[in-house]
Amino acid sequence: MNDHSTEQPAETVARLRATFRSGRTQPVEWRTAQLRRLREMLTTHGADLAEALHADLGKSSTEAFRTEIDFTIREIDHTLEHLADWLRPEPAPVPAHLGADATARTQYDPLGVVLVIAPWNYPVQLLLTPLLGALASGNAVVVKPSEMAPATSAALARLLPRHLDTDAVAVVEGAVPETTALLAERFDHIFYTGNGTVGRIVMRAAAEHLTPVTLELGGKSPAFVDRGADLSVVADRLVRGKFLNAGQTCVAPDYVLTDPETARALEPEFARAVEAVFGADPQSSREFGRIVNERHFDRLGSLLGSGRTVTGGHTDRATKYIAPTVLADVDPKAPVMQEEIFGPILPVVTVADLDEAIAFINDRDKPLALYAFTESDHTRERLAAETSSGGLGFGLPLAHLTVSDLPFGGVGESGMGSYHGRYSIETFSHRKAVLSKPLG
């Protein structure tokens, strides 16, 4: 294994581009070998990565494997099983004026050198899942782990070069200066997961080279609770979805929309569900994480006064702990409703009915996800037809992103482009049109 640790970004990109142009990454055999090596890294060093995730975010080993390590392994396995079929050229009908001997097809071509910029909240999964899609598509890849998860960044920078082709995959650690230097280079695709502010910076940099981008952003994902829903089940599923990773999940339910009567009935159910999942003292629970840093802790702490506390509200700055908190009587103009929360605070906002809920959702930026708890087919049909979101989940939050055959991505302010499964091949490839007509 060669040591490329002293390379400048321009040298790294040039080296990887030379590898790509040599044709080395094109064969399916090379691609599948890289995926198998990546899988081996995860199975061999899963405990090391889980330890790093605990150091950065307080994640339990159970959560680290379920949401990051095993999640990525399943995505690798799904890709290995179907890659040959996904890459198979697809014939296209040819119009009669071109003659009966003309043929047409589409084929997937790798793009070249791809840049993947990962966030800190799921620093393993959200770096490796785009990476495996880019490798499966036959690209060379530069990956940039998040400096806000330093233990995980260091672990990935140590492990990836041991397992993958270092002439085709490079890890660049660092913060804003290193990212800025990378963005000054010409890539063939940039895949960024994070917030809209940085997403705009990425797009501006990409525009200098007309580089296509995929932006996986976030936003305030609503959860609508219909009259008559089983509130015990609703509360349990919302608590598990919202407070996973201490609420630091881009597709977590950001706030609840429901009518006043249902909102009141939900309050004791939320308190019961929090205790059932995390115990009477969530601070001592091994399954409840911590806020990533003091800046985000202070930001979240300032939002706790946005409503009446139903459960939670306790904080400990020394350990960056914020209890799983539900707020009632929240005004839509309250601070907690002005930005994506990205933490363990769940506000409940009341609306008169479904019409007002749909209007409330549509008056705001398009969310990354919309969740609804209802047994009404009519309500489901209206939400599907009359709202726009990156994903739509009925009865269970977060679960749609675990289905490899569904595209995962946002719309509008919540992002552009999608990935997972065959949608990663579409993102990291060019579908080329090929027409053939004999000279005779």
Residues recognised as catalytic? 216, 250
Contact between 105 and 79 (Cβ < 8 Å): no
One-letter amino acid of 229: A
Instruction: Write down the residue that tokens 């000054």 correspond to.
Output: 184
**Burial zone of 362 (CB within 10 Å; 0-12 exposed, 13-18 middle, 19+ buried):** exposed
**Strand 325-328 versus strand 308-311 pairing type:** antiparallel
Residues 97, 370: Cα–Cα separation, whole Å: 48
Residues 294, 319: Cα–Cα separation, whole Å: 9
- Could you please report the per-residue DSSP string of 110-156? E-SEEEEE--SSSTTHHHHHHHHHHHHTT-EEEEE--TTSHHHHHHH
Residues 374, 58: Cα–Cα separation, whole Å: 34
Cα angle: 217, vertex 220, 225; to 5 degrees: 135
Residues 293, 56: Cα–Cα separation, whole Å: 9
User: In 3D, which of 291, 194, 202 has the Cα closest to residue 250?
Assistant: 194
Residues 315, 294: Cα–Cα separation, whole Å: 12
> What Cα–Cα distance (Å) separates residue 419 from each residue in 45, 126, 160, 201, 387?
25, 11, 21, 21, 22
- Using DSSP, state whether 333 is helix, strand or coil: coil
What b/e readout covers 132-158, taking b as 16+ CB neighbours within 10 angstroms?
bbbbbbbbbbbbbbbebbbbbbebbbe
User: In 3D, which of 406, 412, 410, 411 has the Cα closest to residue 424?
Assistant: 406
